Amino acid sequence: MTQSPTFLLRLSVIGWCVVYPLTTVGCARHQPVAPSVAPVPEPRSPVALRVTNSNWSDVRIYVVRGTLRVRLGTVTTNSTVDFTIPADFLSGAGNVALVAAPVAGRASWTTPLPEISAGDEFELVVEDVLQYSHLVVR
C-alpha cells in the first residue's frame, strides 16, 4: 500500500511546523549584557531576640519567611529567653515575621520584622492580652 504524494506532503509540513520552532529557539540573537558592578551584599550575622512572656500560657516562638516557618523555641509563663535568628534565614528576598503562638490557645500574634541593620537586637514582649504584645528594636 503506497501513500499518496499529498499525504506525504501534509505529513512533512506538519513535521516542519513542529520541529522549526524548537530548533530556532536557541538561535535567537541576544543583546550582549554590559558587565555591571553589583554591590557586594554585606555578610549578615545572626540577630539576637529576647522574648519576655507575660502571658498566662506558655508560648511557642516562630520566625516565618514566605511559607517557611521555623520554630525558635518555647517560653514558659513569666520568664525571659534569649534566641538567635539565623543569618541565612534573614538573607534573600521575602518578608520575615515573628509569631507568638500560645500553647493553650487558638489565636497567635504576628508582627513583621523591620529592616535589619548590623548590630540590631529585638525584644518581644508577649502580654497577657495577646493583641497588646509588642516588638522593640535596639
Phi, psi for 117 (deg, rounded to 5)? -110, 165
Give per-residue pLDDT as tens, 14-47: 877 777 766 666 555 556 666 665 554 554 688 9
pLDDT at 109: 96
Residues 130, 109: contact at Cβ < 8 Å?
yes
Whether residue 27 lies inside any domain: the answer is no
Tell me the three cell numbers of residue 34.
Answer: 554590559
Separation in Å, CA 123 to CA 19, 64, 79, 101: 62, 17, 13, 16
Residues 52, 124: contact at Cβ < 8 Å?
yes
Indicate which CATH number applies to the domain containing 52: 2.60.40.2890
Whether residue 70 lies inside any domain: the answer is yes
- pTM, two decimals, is 0.67
- Between 81 and 86, name the one with better pLDDT: 81
pLDDT at 2: 65
- Report, in angstroms and rounded to the nearest whole number, the Rg of the chain calculated over CA atoms: 29
Residues 131, 109: contact at Cβ < 8 Å?
yes
CA dist 39 and 29 (Å) reads 29
The residue behind cell 501513500 is 3
Which domain, by its residues, includes 55? 47-137
- Band (105; pLDDT cuts 50, 70, 90): confident
CA dist 16 and 27 (Å) reads 17
Give per-residue pLDDT as tens, 53-78: 999 999 999 999 988 899 999 999 99
Pick the range with the lowest mean pLDDT from 8-12, 19-23, 60-64, 121-125. 19-23
Mean pLDDT over 86-109 rounds to 86
Specify the DSSP class assigned to residue 93: S
Q: Considering its fold, how many domains does the chain have in total?
A: 1
